[in-house]
Amino acid sequence: MSSNTTLLPVYKNGSSSGFLNLLRKENNTWWGTRKWWIQTLIWIFITNSFIAFILWGIPLFDPSSQTTVNGSDVNELIKVFVQLEAFFATFGVMVLAQGLIVNEKKFGTAAWLLSNPVSRSSFITSKLFSHGWAMFIILIVVPSLVAYLQVALKAGTYFNPLPFIYATGVICLLLLFFLALALMLGTLFSSTGPVIGIPIALLIGMSILPQILGKLTPWLISILPSRLTELALMIVTGQSLPGDWYLPLISTGVLVVIFTVAAILRFAKDEF
């Protein structure tokens, strides 16, 4: 072998080019700063404070009140938590995701990143994976664990966590839907107003639509992503699931894929 062989750099081209580097960059915005523990404390307080007040606050003001919880109380408390988590965490994703694309375009970060050997599809998918994972841990997993431990400690026993885990998993899919929607909207608009305003309007619309079209188009109501909250509540309270329980799971998953592909295609047309 010749001793003066020259090593040449090899560049990987294609749709996944630069994905791992971008993934590390996006992960670092959460786990490499104080953002992760600050956001964790915020969402623990938002989603758990009501249950904490019922379990620990009321007995402080009224010692004669019930100090233990039974099986029905456990179901009711967990149901309340899942409702609060679905509501607040959905808005949390909207707020946290509104500037993921828009701000990078506005401040020139996107143009600088794309001047490196990275693909535009990697730019979008790295944000979906990294921020989706971080929001799943911070908005769902940790607050849910705190709620479970609160109720179990008060009940004096560790109740079956599987229905609780399944329910929070369903809510996670709902959050992924709004994250993918925010990424797509970020490629379409140059300000954060529409990126957060349209999901809020959509959420309100999905809550009203069953009352308007429930009898006319029941098939449409059965596939709405907002039905995931209803499904999560049925799971966590042990109710019998309807025959079409899987439809909102499939439709929401399909919409996540559509939004992601649309974001990639639209972002590919942007000029920097």
Q: Say if CB 155 and CB 69 are below 8 A apart.
A: yes
pLDDT in tens, the chain (272 residues): 444 544 444 455 567 788 999 999 999 999 999 999 999 999 999 999 999 998 888 888 877 766 667 777 888 999 999 999 999 999 999 999 999 999 999 999 999 988 888 899 999 999 999 999 999 999 999 999 999 999 999 888 888 999 999 999 999 999 999 999 999 999 999 999 999 999 999 999 999 988 887 777 888 889 999 999 999 999 999 999 999 999 999 999 999 999 999 999 999 998 76
Phi, psi angle pair for 243, to nearest 5°: -65, -25
Q: Which two tokens stand for residue 11?
A: 């560049």
Contact (CB, 8 A) for 134 and 43: no
**pLDDT computed for residue 210 by the predictor:** 84
Looking at the chain, list the stretches that DSSP marks H as alpha helix, in order from N- to C-terminal side: 19-31, 35-52, 58-61, 71-97, 102-106, 109-114, 120-135, 142-155, 162-188, 192-213, 218-222, 227-236, 247-267
Task: Round to whole Å and give the CA distance between 179 and 200.
Answer: 12
Question: What's this model's pTM, rounded to 2 decimal places?
Answer: 0.91
pLDDT at 12: 52
